[in-house]
Each structure stands twice: as C-alpha cells, then as structure tokens.
Structure 1
Amino acid sequence: MDVEIISIERIRPCYPTPNHLKSYKLCILDQLIPAANAPIVIFYPNHDAATHFEVLERVNVLKKSLSETLSKFFPLAGTIKDDLSIDCDDQGACFTTTKVKNNLSEFLESPDLKLIANFLPFNGSCVTNIQASVFECGGMAIGLCISHRILDGTALSTFLKSWAGVASSSDEKLIYPDFVASSLFPAKDLWLKDASMVMWGSLFKNGNFVTKRFVFYGSAIASLRAMCMSNSTHVGIVSAFIWKYAMATSEQRFGSKKPSLVSHIVNLRRRATPNFSEKSLGNLIWMATAKCDEENLEFPRLVDIIMKSISKIDGEYVKKLQGDEGSSLMKRHFKEIEEFGSKNVDYFGFTSWCKLGFYDVDFGWGKPIWVSSIDSSGTYFMNLIILMETRCGNGIEAWVTLDEQEMAILESDQEFRTFAAFNPSPLRL
C-alpha cells in the first residue's frame, strides 16, 4: 500500500468560541476509558465516477464544512489542559490529505487489517485528527482519531452526522450537540481515573496479541437465535457465542477451564430515566460485567447471563451512579473487577458500535461502503472484541483481539466458523 502525504493543515472553527464557553468541563465518566482516542475509518466509493478535480473539490468541501462544524463542537478544536477540562482556544483540528496509489476496490476485495493504519492520522497532536485518503479510482477513506476524553461512540456518531449535514448542505441533518455530561456526572478530582487504571492494569496482559475480523451474517444470527430460543439482541447473541468459543480456546490452550469475566460497554443515554440526550458529548457509558465459573455452560445460558448483566444497568442504576452513593458504587464495581481479574482468570472485553448510524454518514456523495475499526495487535493488551454492524444492517462484524495461540485455535474451530465468516470482502456484505 503506497500512501503519499499531500498536505497537513490546521482547520480552525469558522467563528471564535465565545469567552463564556472557553473552558469545557469534562465529566467524571470521561476518566473511565484508558484509550487515547477513538479511531474509525469510513470508506466511500466513487459512486458517480467523479473526475480527479471533482474529488479534490470534495476534499475542500470536507475542510470548509469541518470548520463550520467545529464552531458547534468547539471542545473538539481545543486543547486538553488536564483530565478535568479542555481549553476551548480554537486551536483547531489537524487535517491530513493523502494520495493512495491503489484502487479502493483492490483494498476492499481482501482487506489487510494491518494496512488500515495507513488511513489514520496517528501522528496528529490535536484533540481532533482527521485524514482524507484519496484512491486512484476517486474513492476516499476518511479516518478519524479524536480524543476519547471527549467522545464515546455515540458522541462520535453525532459529530460525524453533523459534519456530513453541513457538507451536504442538508438542513434536516444539522445537529447541535448538548454539553450536559459534566452536570450529569460532575468531576471534582481524578479518583476515578486512578481507580480505573488499577482495574484495567489487572486485565491487561503480556503476550503476542493479534486482531482478526469475523462476520456474522443475518442468517447466521437467526440460526443462533433459534438455538438459544431467545428474544435477545443481535449483540447479546453474538457476544455470548464469541464468549463461549473464546473460553473453549483458553481451555484447550492451558488444559483446564479458568473462571471467566466478560464486560460490555453500555450507553447510559438510553438507560437513564428519562433518557439523556443522544446528542450529548462525553463518555456517557458504564461497564456491565458477568462472570462464568461453572463447567460446560451451554450457549443459551451464556446469552441469558450477558443480557441480565446489561439489563441491570437501568434507570434506577443510573440514578444511583448520579447520586450520593455513586462514587462508592463505582469504586466497589472497580474493586470487584480488579480482584477477580488479578487471579488466574480469562477476561473478555466487549464494546458495540452497532446501531450508531455510521453507515448513514453521507457528505453529499453517497453512503459508505465500509466502516472499519483498527488492528490492535501488540505485546501488551487484553482480550477485546469490537462489534460493528454490517452495511446491510442485519449482520455484525466482530473485530476480535486475542493472544495469537488462542486465535489460531479459534480460527481452526469448525463449529465457530460455521457461523462466523473469516474476513470476507466488504464489497459483498
């Protein structure tokens, strides 16, 4: 993959941020996730056979509309002062334009996950870093690395939809964000960051971790649903299925079954009573956890365990998180995970970006053909599963990161592969 940097620019808000909005307070839940940013790449084919100059004009539209959008999402153009606030000083976003000396269809025919990093602006030093990569065919990849201190998946989707609405001159798609997170979950100090780092430290492991992409088609999920005879969500069914076989790979590798812990990131906006605004910036999320320390639990039982753990985070639970007992509830939750994770156990962390509308992000030249996560391979990581919906909406992509020995076992498991297709072309999803 030959990618050439054409330009690196700073895109500032088209209007200065008013003085009374210069300091943006982060909420306490912004301290939960240790990841520096929330990377995503969105691939657009050249639907209308636009010429080279028309494609370059689209890049200019992206820059101009980004400037307008940052005036509404002004914290994304600021500078992180500390872990409690952002200086909304209009420093702007880092925007990189690159030229890819390949056709988009060539890459999508058999996507190499390790090459996706070429479409991301990992060297950006701003809160918001964006890269537009133009393929020889006129297709485009838009990669974003925005600080996880400000955005979770829902907030990222809100930003992208608003930006696309400005770019396409669609008044119907214009979105104005809400900045209520710090009033819902105020942050006075960094105790949650310190506690969560200890917790995450108990779950990260040394090893040779690799990332593989599996796709569960709608028909496979329907078959799994019939097997467990449940009205559970697609995400719950696929999560339980992966958990079952991930535990089995660990048992085969080590010769005995370990107790297992699974977590799922839950969007509190939809759990609160009344609901928090879907347009809220910030990390309005929490972790649902479930344990399995019994032998040979069947798939339907694992589905039930996961769904019950998620259902516990309801309106009443959210109120407790916000109330006087919120800090003690959070600390107790972290301590339980830390104590369990520090033993000889398996941990599998799930996060779902399904139903967040990434495939509806249209800048004026059509909807995406593929929305991708990234390769998380490395020597110090944790078992992580990122779930993303397929373009048609009824399937799920699972980006699974495991130790390479366990991944090799999982890949060769014929029962698993009956339902999970290995890295199929996004062109045919």
Structure 2
Amino acid sequence: MDQNHPLYHLPVVFFYSATPSAADDIGTLKSSLSTVLASFYPLAGRLSGNSLVDCGDQGAEFFEARAPNADLSEILSSDEPDLGEVKKFLPCSKGEASCCDSEPTVILSVQATVFRCGGIAVGVCISHKIADGRSFFSFLQGWAAAARGSFSSEYSPSFDGAAVFPPKENAVPNAAEQPPEKPPQVHKRFVLGGPKIAALREKTASSAATRFQAVAALVWRCAVRARPVARVAVAVVVANTRSRMELRSPNGSFGNCCTGTLAGIPMDEVENIAKSDVTENTKCVLEEEMGAAVKRVDAEYVRRLQGEDGWQRQLELGWEAVRKCGGATEAGFDMNVFSSWLRLPVYEVNFGWGPAAWACMTQLRPSSIVVLPRPPAARDPQGMEVWASLEQVEMAELQRELEKLVPLNPVHHVTQR
C-alpha cells in the first residue's frame, strides 16, 4: 500500500483561537512533539528508497514563525480564503503537493505561527508514502494528548502493515517522478450546509446515496459535462480497508491502509450526462456506481490485496474496472479522485486550547476532491467543506450547478471564539 503511493506530503493547517501564553504554548508544542515521536518513531526517520524508513532518529522538522501584522479573525471572517495566504502557515515555501522545503525524504515537518492576537496556526506536513489520513490523525491526536500531559499507551500505533500487506522490492517504481501533465488546475473550497446537502440529494433524486456520494457525484457529473471531448469517465473513491478485513485491523494500525476503488461510466452514459441537465439525470448512475464501488471493498476484496502479490492484484482490480466500462481503448479515459475526511477526527486535535476554529487542506493533487467536516462552532454537523482541484472549465461548471441547485453561503464559516 505504501509502495504504491507517490512521493508527496499531506498538508493540513489548524487555526486555534487566542491563547493567554502563546510563546509558552509553542514551547509545549515542541517538547510534546519530542515525547510523542518516541512512539511514532518512523516519523523522525528518513525515507530510503521505496521500501524502507531509516529510523536513525534524524528528527522531525519544527519551525516557529510570527504574524505580527495579522489577526486570526482576518482569516476566519474571509468570504473566500486566499489559499496563497493560507499556505504561508505550512513549513514549506510554496505549499505544493510535494511541499516540504527539505529533502523529500523528510517524513514530518511542522510550523507553528503566532498571530498578533495570540491565535496560533499549526501547519503539519506528513509524507503520504507512510501515512494515510487515519494514520495522520492518529499521530495528531497522540501529539495533542502529549501536549495536554495525558499521552498514554492507547495512542501508541501498531506498525503491523507489512505483515498484512507485505512489501516487495521493485514491485512498483520509486514514485518520485512527476505525474502526467494535466491542464492548469483551479483550486476552490465550497461550504455546503447540512440543509443544502439534503436539498441537493432531493433535487438530484439521490436520497439513497450518502451525503458524501451525493456531493461527490455532483462534482463528477459537472466535470463530465464540462469536458470538450467525451471520453469514458472513471472515479477513484478512497476506501479504508481497516474495518473491512476478516481480522479487523485496529485504528491504530499505522500506514497506508486505504485503497482506491474504481467506478466507471461508459461512453453512452457519458454522452447522456453531457447532453442532459444535471437535474434531469434522475437515474443517479454516478451515485449508484460510486456506492457499488465502495461496497465491492469487502473482506474478500481486501484478502486479494494481501500476500506477496497483493500489489499486483490491486493494479489488476483497477484495470478490470477500467476495461469493464470501456476505458482501456486507445481513446483512453478521464479520471477524478474522491476522498472523504468526514469520519476522521479533524476537530478532535486538541492541544489544550479546545478544538480548532478551522482546519483546512491547502493543496490537492490534480483532478481530486477532498471533503472535510465543518468546525464545531458552525453548529452544522451534517455540513461539509468541499475542496476541489479541477480544470478551469470544470470548476466553472461546478460553481454554476452548485449555485443553481443550492445557492452557496457567502459566509466563510465561523467567527473567533
């Protein structure tokens, strides 16, 4: 699973409201990071090739910064957050997907920024080569517990992934190379309240779909409609294998324990979607295909991914789905990647200052969509934030359809406590 991931970092920024002793709190962050790295020791190592982490205690990177002319409220009250500004709170220069300034072999990098008002931004980058979203937040919760002085063995991870999904030297190339060239991408964030998501499900006749599937299908449908040339459409939906194993792996199992399951739409259906209005397409083909793709990842499916040749079977299962919808022809296919963070403890990372006022992504891979929960202060547990990276025409189509179906809320999300 780890070997199949490209070499880039997952960047997340947490914004916390003013604290009475910000300078002391930064010191606590630093010392507690040292404490928790004793349990999450690979994060203090360095990547070595495509199969190993050199656990030589080289250390995680920790940067301190100040924003003496800015208040946290300026970010939280913005109708449209400037992603270029948000990236400044990451421990990297440009906030790109492979974002850390240091060598790409660095696994963990942190930047703590203190605002003029006393608020704090904690930007964290972790290598996707050894951690998925669940592992990332397992570490973050452990670190936060250490900062509160309550770290215990319950937060300690299990590094048992190689026993379940054994690595194979040279099974896949070292994924340091750049992905295929894509047209310029536009990055946007859309805030959808719970009632608006319910209205979306009703208007697109997709009430049987989960709220994630309903929103993801809408994004996918808009991308299909906006493309100038009709081709087979493929969606990769990220599914967590931990709860789907015969012998269930604990949430503490560290590593990439997610797999991408593919949903495909053949040419005739792509042409039908391209011709019809979004609300006229009542058959909910995209929602149904996404739901079926996730259901396929059962205990038997995960069993096929295990063992020495599991990596090869993972590729075969993907190509099987592509061939089934006709995407293996010379014409090729278009692909989007969808991931939900709605079940991750995004707002349970409490360093002693309560939940974050806001937590956000800052960079997405091309043609990908990540869905995050709304902050607790928004009092909207069914709401979500849709972070999308799409081609310009696809993004324009998505914005038009969202405004038509569920007029977007111009308010950013929450005021400072």
Normalised-by-shorter TM-score class? 0.7 to 0.9
Structure 1 residues 410 and 142: alpha-carbon distance in aligned structure 2, compared to 1, 3 A threshold: same
Three-state SS of the structure 2 residue aligned to 1:72 is coil
Residues 1:236 and 2:203 are matched in the alignment: no
1:274-313 alignment to 2 at 5 Å?
Answer: 274-293=247-266, 294=269, 295-296=272-273, 297-298=281-282, 300-313=284-297
CA distances 1:257-306 after superposition (whole Å, capped 9, x unpaired):
43211111111112212321111111011111111121235363321110
Using structure 1 for the length normalisation, give the TM-score. Answer: 0.82
In 2, Cα distance between equivalents of 1:197 and 1:37: 12
In 2, Cα distance between equivalents of 1:259 and 1:416: 27
In 2, Cα distance between equivalents of 1:272 and 1:423: 42
Residues 1:44 and 2:16 are matched in the alignment: yes
Three-state SS of the structure 1 residue aligned to 2:223 is helix
Asked if structure 1 preserves the Cα contact closer than 8 Å seen for 2:245 and 2:298, the reply is yes
Question: What residue is the counterpart of 1:419 in the other structure?
Answer: 406
Question: What residue is the counterpart of 1:116 in the other structure?
Answer: 86
Question: What residue is the counterpart of 1:245 in the other structure?
Answer: 222
Partner amino acid, structure 2, of 1:275: R
Structure 1 residues 197 and 426: alpha-carbon distance in aligned structure 2, compared to 1, 3 A threshold: same
Of 255, 264, 276, 2:237 maps to 264
Question: What residue is the counterpart of 1:86 in the other structure?
Answer: 53
Structure 1 residues 343 and 115: alpha-carbon distance in aligned structure 2, compared to 1, 3 A threshold: farther
Percent of aligned positions that are identical: 31
In 1, Cα distance between equivalents of 2:404 and 2:113: 33
1:380-419 alignment to 2 at 5 Å?
Answer: 382-392=366-376, 393-411=381-399, 413-414=400-401, 416-419=403-406
Asked if structure 2 preserves the Cα contact closer than 8 Å seen for 1:212 and 1:423, the reply is no
Using structure 2 for the length normalisation, give the TM-score. Answer: 0.85
Of 120, 123, 129, 1:149 maps to 129
Count of aligned pairs between the two proteins: 383
In 1, Cα distance between equivalents of 2:173 and 2:342: 27
In 1, Cα distance between equivalents of 2:300 and 2:410: 40
Structure 1 residues 302 and 338: alpha-carbon distance in aligned structure 2, compared to 1, 3 A threshold: closer
Asked if structure 1 preserves the Cα contact closer than 8 Å seen for 2:346 and 2:373, the reply is no
Three-state SS of the structure 2 residue aligned to 1:235 is helix
Asked if structure 2 preserves the Cα contact closer than 8 Å seen for 1:103 and 1:137, the reply is yes
Asked if structure 2 preserves the Cα contact closer than 8 Å seen for 1:162 and 1:173, the reply is no
In 1, Cα distance between equivalents of 2:415 and 2:401: 22
Residues 1:191 and 2:171 are matched in the alignment: yes
Residues 1:219 and 2:195 are matched in the alignment: yes
Asked if structure 2 preserves the Cα contact closer than 8 Å seen for 1:215 and 1:420, the reply is no
Three-state SS of the structure 1 residue aligned to 2:144 is helix
**Cα distance, 1:401 vs. partner?**
0.8
Q: Give the alignment's Cα RMSD to 1 decimal.
A: 2.5
**Cα distance, 1:346 vs. partner?**
2.4
Partner amino acid, structure 2, of 1:42: F
Moved more, 394-403 or 220-229: 220-229
Question: What residue is the counterpart of 2:354 in the other structure?
Answer: 366
CA distances 1:224-279 after superposition (whole Å, capped 9, x unpaired):
333435443221121112112221222xxx1x543211111111112212321111
In 2, Cα distance between equivalents of 1:132 and 1:93: 13
1:93-172 alignment to 2 at 5 Å?
Answer: 93-100=60-67, 101-110=69-78, 111-122=81-92, 123-125=101-103, 126-170=106-150
Q: Which runs of 5+ in 1 are unaligned?
A: 1-28
Question: What residue is the counterpart of 1:12 in the other structure?
Answer: none
**Cα distance, 1:193 vs. partner?**
4.0
Question: What residue is the counterpart of 2:96 in the other structure?
Answer: none
